[in-house]
A and B are shown apart, each in its own frame.
Chain A
Amino acid sequence: MQISTNIWQWISVICIFGMWSLPLYKDNPFYRVCQNVFVGSCAGHAIGIAIGNIVNYGFEPLFTQSKIDLLIPVILGLMLYTRFFPGVAWLSRWPVAFLVGVGVGQTIYASLRSQVINQSIAAMTKFPQPTVGATINGLVSLIGLLSILTYFLFTVPQSGVVRGMSELGRWMMMVTFGVGFGNVVSGRLSVLLGELLKIFGDWLGMI
């Protein structure tokens, strides 16, 4: 075992213990200091990156390369801040409208193609598949798709075959949620393992 002499490793590990003190003990000043250090450093970093972006993508090409067309986004960006001046606050709606319009326009047509049409095509499996396993997979996928769609069929009375399919759809969704929860647990364990690796490896030198 060889304890690290790097001050940043110490700060990092102290902050880990600070964050652990909430679930293992209770809310306390040590936890709140560590939490605020994290939030503050994240905010500071984001501001630094944002300023760098404004200079890199806006001011520098505008002033050094005379890209006059960049004046439009710069002015639209500045208009966002008019909301702090009640008399001209309405001006801030223009850039917001522009951003929403471009964002929605850019996304809608692409979503239809990629997430509806292409996914629907992929769902149309040919039977039988080359192997038994693939055929079973395809069948489970197809039955899952149809039964879950039936579950959300609200315009038909839920009785007879529709009710059976709907019930199956509910079970399929429960299995899916279980898989999702399992992955959440696994992911959170990985985060915890990262912290343990820092403590035992980087800090204490035991690994």
Chain B
Amino acid sequence: MNHELAIETKGLVKTFGKHRAVDGVDLSIPKGKVYGFLGPNGAGKTTTIRMLATLLQPDGGEAHIFGKNIVTEAAEVRERISLTGQYASIDEDLTGIENLVMISRLMGYKKKEAKARATELLAAFGLEEAAKKQVKNYSGGMRRRIDIAASIVVTPDLLFLDEPTTGLDPRSRNQVWDIVRTLVSAGTTVLLTTQYLEEADQLADRIAVINQGKIIAEGTSSELKASVGAGTLNVRLADSTDRERAITILSEKLQTDIKTSGDTASLSAQVGDASLVAEALGELVQHRINVSDFSLGQPSLDEVFLTLTGQKTESEEEGKQ
């Protein structure tokens, strides 16, 4: 057992009937970082978090939070963690301030202190004006913020955020990201789950890609990206009748398959070595094939995910619709 770790699990398993929702998860998450769980719906992210937050008992393996066993020392674990679930875990019929005062009281603040702490948090989260409104009248972003505020009434050493930005507009999403960064700079370890690759990329120091209850890849975002090569070359031809010739030339030079899409003028390819790209483009020019546009992008985590799982991610699916 390593006390420098915020979370340590060995062979964590949770089954629901015959379904192995979490199937042997090993984690070593250091203190003071943001750790991201990335995976599609039903991958086992939430189930893992619920076990770590002492809400679910594991069926196999073991887990320690700051060296405390999540089953036998659940009470000690609860003193150091906080959970912001996928659904607003506050009372929607109550006002913002009533919610925060209630949680403050449950954390052990006396009446006056509870009021002061609630007011302080509402101000910090930009919710002063909504303090006396019922939470059910809040916008999605405000709801998320009050939910996170409720989780840090006593700043936890470890905060679980289950899909903190799902369904939020970009501005609210950025606010949540700012909150997470501030929390981490103050020494809190954050474990967040997300379906958005961009989010994991932006926020997480390390990422575990989860699929069907198993961790299929783990590392920093650049490590994960590096595992699928230099990136994707996109080429747009000026004249789509050159398509076949262009494909032949590119696949020869880049030594890889060229992907085509419904748009007959555009081609793309996964590239292992960026220096080959310049040569390949030069070759096109020599054969008088005009390129109207081209780009070489760092591989997105979408591509990483696709390569690792063979599945399309939700954001890609949505993008197509």
Do they bind each other?
A: no
A residues in contact (CB < 8 Å) with B: none
B residues in contact (CB < 8 Å) with A: none
